[in-house]
Amino acid sequence: MIRIGIAGYGYWGPNLARATAETGLARVEMIADRDPEALRRAAQRHPEARLTQDIAAMIADPAVDAVMIATPVHTHHELALAALMAAKHVLVEKPMADTAARAARLVEEAARRALVLQVDHTFIHTPAVQAIARLIGAGELGEIYYYDSTRVNLGLFQRDVSVVWDLAVHDFAILDHLLGAAPVAISASSAGFLTDSPENMAHLTVYYDSGAMAHLNVNWLAPVKIRQTLIGGSRRMVIYDDMQTSEKVKVYDRGASCGTNPLDRRVSYRLGDMHAPALSSKEALLSGIEDFLGCIDTGRRPVTDGESGLRVVRMLEAATLSSRMRGIPVDIGTLKEAS
């Protein structure tokens, strides 16, 4: 049984610990958090685990095979690197690191030591995103024209990261998973309406070589919660609405095409059926952790591996840079070399 150490038992750490126990494939060996109150809660729910306030000691503990890191973003690099250098497999919260250079360093270290490095981009493991990935993989949507996401709600304002690093990170990971191709440039506009708080609203456009365009609308100051993505393809279009309890993914056989007769180039429309595939109710976090544990066992790469985590951080950096320049597009390739 794989022995897991949990670093950070604040907001997300308890979920990692619970889901790890639920897999039945691993054991929560240790839980580390600097806050004694957090450890008290951990003791109640995981009487089987050893507890410590010293994260470094847990990382060094020989009884720990793999470390899950759920600490603040600016500590990800240091803790993940220490864990990899201690020959532990690593699952790190998103975003993987606070700069692309640091993310790249983690990828390098994991590769050198042949350790599993996974970023917890949980959305990739949701039944909805998996269903869309299958549709795209099977060519059902045709050529992808656009991905247009609205991810807004009231709060929770973060002190240390902007809405881009907190919310757009999900869409960047989904884009990376669904579109495969790397984007060429990002144009971002952002605004912050509360004094001394990071930006709470942003609009980001992601350009692809293929001509596809992605747009993300993220906002912590919206009156209601909206989680809606439109994906347009040449053959079909998708609406993915994560707030729906039923029919989260709807596939529309709709579209437009131009006549091929040069004398009559009128646009014709296709208004066909709509289809909403049944989705599994399996928890995404559980699937993600099963993937992590399976990779440790077999040596295969996780779906959300370090490279994907690095590509996401590159997009976050480009978006941050562009938003400081009021939307002047930032080339991703350039950034890539620079890192």
Which residue among 197, 242, 301, 336 contacts a copy of itself (CB under 8 A)? 197
Q: What would the x/- binding string for a copy of itself be over residues 208 to 247, using CB under 8 A?
A: ---x-x-x-x-xxxxxxx----x-x-x--xxx---x-xxx
Question: What distances in angstroms separate CA 218 from CA 192, 222, 238, 305, 322, one per listed residue?
Answer: 12, 9, 20, 25, 15
Q: Which of 75, 327, 336, 339 binds a copy of itself (CB under 8 A)?
A: 327
H or E stretch at 137: helix 127-137
Contact 33, 48 (CB under 8 A): no
Q: Can you tell me the distance from the alpha carbon of 295 to that of 299, in angstroms, rounded to the nearest whole number?
A: 5
Is residue 43 near a copy of itself by the rule CB under 8 A? no
- For residue 69, give the nearest of 3, 119, 113 by alpha carbon: 119
Query: 57-89 burial, b if ≥16 CB within 10 A, otherwise e?
Result: ebbebeebbbbbbbbebeebbebbbbbbebebb
Region of 6-14, 27-35, 55-63, 148-156 interacting with a copy of itself (CB under 8 A): 148-156
The identity of residue 148, as a single letter, is: D
**Least Cβ distance, residue 189 to a copy of itself (angstroms):** 4
Q: Is 201 in the site for a copy of itself (CB under 8 A)?
A: yes
Q: Is 148 in the site for a copy of itself (CB under 8 A)?
A: yes
Residue 167 phi/psi, 5-degree rounding, is -110, -45
To a copy of itself, the closest distance from the beta carbon of 192 in angstroms equals 9
Phi-psi region of 178 (alpha: psi -120 to 50; beta: other; left: phi over 0): alpha
Stretch that binds a copy of itself, among 27-35, 107-115, 170-178, 271-279 (CB under 8 A): 271-279
Stretch of residues binding a copy of itself (CB under 8 A), selected from 29-37, 56-64, 286-294, 327-335: 327-335
**Closest among 34, 38, 42, 36 to 4, alpha carbons compared:** 42
Q: In what helix (H) or strand (E) does residue 206 lie, and over which residues does it extend? A: strand 201-207
Structure tokens at 150: 């609205």
- Asked if the bond preceding 51 is cis, omega within 30° of 0, the reply is no
Q: Is 273 in the site for a copy of itself (CB under 8 A)?
A: yes
Query: Which one of 52-60, 102-110, 162-170, 264-272 is the stretch in contact with a copy of itself (CB under 8 A)?
Result: 264-272
The CA–CA distances, whole Å, from 213 to 187, 232, 336 equal: 11, 10, 20
Shortest CB 120 distance to a copy of itself, Å: 25
The single residue among 1, 256, 324, 338 that binds a copy of itself, judged by CB under 8 A, is 256
- String marking each residue 71-110 x if it binds a copy of itself according to CB under 8 A: ----------------------------------------
Where along the sequence are the contacts to a copy of itself (CB under 8 A)? Answer: 145-146, 148, 150, 152, 154-155, 157, 185, 187, 189, 191, 193-197, 201, 203, 205, 207, 211, 213, 215, 217, 219-225, 230, 232, 234, 237-239, 243, 245-247, 250, 252-258, 265, 267, 269, 271-278, 322, 326-329
